[in-house]
Structure 1
Amino acid sequence: MRKILLLFCMMAVIAAHSQGVNGALDSVILTQADAMGKAFIAKDYSSFVKYSHPTVVQMMGGKAKMVEDTKKSFEEFEAEGVIFLNVTFGPPSKIVLAEGEMQCTFTEMIEMRIPGGKLTAFTNVIAVSNDNGATWYFIDCSENNAQAMRKLIPSLSPDLVLPEPIGPAFEEDPK
């Protein structure tokens, strides 16, 4: 069942590249999200952080501090036996306009090897562009709801809907 779900998610990503609700902008969003995901997997934290929303970077103490903290967090994951394998993305939602920004959401799927098997975590991501879709910044919502995210980023539109979180999928290693 989990394999079917992952296959469905991968097919959704392919479909999003070819016929998204936002036309060519879907491809731009997903291309930049993919670059962020590849930087994440490659442990290129400087490149990874450049895709973070400026408000989040500021709250983390600036780019250098965020890079340092991100690196430390992922070293701690590795020490616990977690290895990040792949990051993929679902299709973006319809873009809404608010306070001169384009905003949408999509699902991020992070595959990781953990002791005992493979875990796929699903999280909602908010994408924001303040230059008519040329550059996109991403905000991982984790377990936060739309109201909590608006406290963090007040410019988020009330029309921006965060889907219900999806629980992780675990595939146990064969014994």
Structure 2
Amino acid sequence: MLKTQLSTILFVLLLSFTAKGQIESNIINAAHAYARAQINSDVEAILNFTHPGLIEQAGGREEMKKTWQKIYDNQQSKGIRLQEFRVKEPIQHTRSSGEIHALVPVVTTSKVPGGQLITETNLIAVSEEGNDRWYFLETTSIDERNVTKVLEKWDGSLILPFKKAPVFKEDKK
């Protein structure tokens, strides 16, 4: 009897760790696809990773597309180009009202006039439980006070890290 209970407990723990690993693997794969879209300024692909709540707040898909395009055009006109978008670990995640929320630490490197700008930040990854589709929110303008305006089901169990100032590396002459 004790052996059966112990086996059952070990099996449940194994399933739990496997599910956790699968979620993190799915997030990382989606984050890499999001990174490629960002580096290539692929607005259509970025829209597919943009949280529906943000699209709705922007006035719909076409309005959000215009917003993303303006951002890229503005950056290009200023000589700013994203060079690298690297996903770091560990990824923290939680379940909240039928959604999975995760904090995904990333490091971006942008070419700017006179050098490079290296930024450590976090993305919030969101998926409905049982769904492999992930949406990402940049945390540059999101904090604990306003996160629920975008993510209604955010329960606060994940703490948004403090924002770090970007680091400028001057080009060598």
TM-score (norm 2): 0.83
1:65 counterpart residue number: 63
Distance 2:152 2:106 in 1: 23
Distance 1:117 1:141 in 2: 24
2:5 counterpart residue number: none
Distance 2:91 2:148 in 1: 18
Secondary structure of the 1:34 match is: helix
Distance 2:111 2:18 in 1: 31
Structure 1 pair 20–144 and aligned structure 2 pair: CA distance change class (3 A): farther
1:159 counterpart residue number: 157
Residue identity matched to 1:34: H
Structure 1 pair 117–49 and aligned structure 2 pair: CA distance change class (3 A): same
Runs of 5+ consecutive residues of structure 2 not aligned to the other structure? 1-16
Structure of larger gyration radius: 2
1:77 counterpart residue number: 75
Runs of 5+ consecutive residues of structure 1 not aligned to the other structure? 1-18
Distance 1:20 1:134 in 2: 15
- C-alpha offsets along residues 75-132 of structure 1, whole Å, 9 cap, x if unaligned? 1111111111121112253321111111110122221110110111222211111142
Aligned length: 157
CA RMSD, 1 decimal = 2.0
Distance 2:99 2:114 in 1: 43
Percent of residue pairs bearing the same amino acid type? 25
Q: Is the CA contact 1:25–1:133 (under 8 Å) kept in the aligned structure 2?
A: no
Structure 1 pair 115–151 and aligned structure 2 pair: CA distance change class (3 A): same
Where relative contact order (Cα < 8 A, 6+ residues apart) is larger, the structure is 1
TM-score (norm 1): 0.82
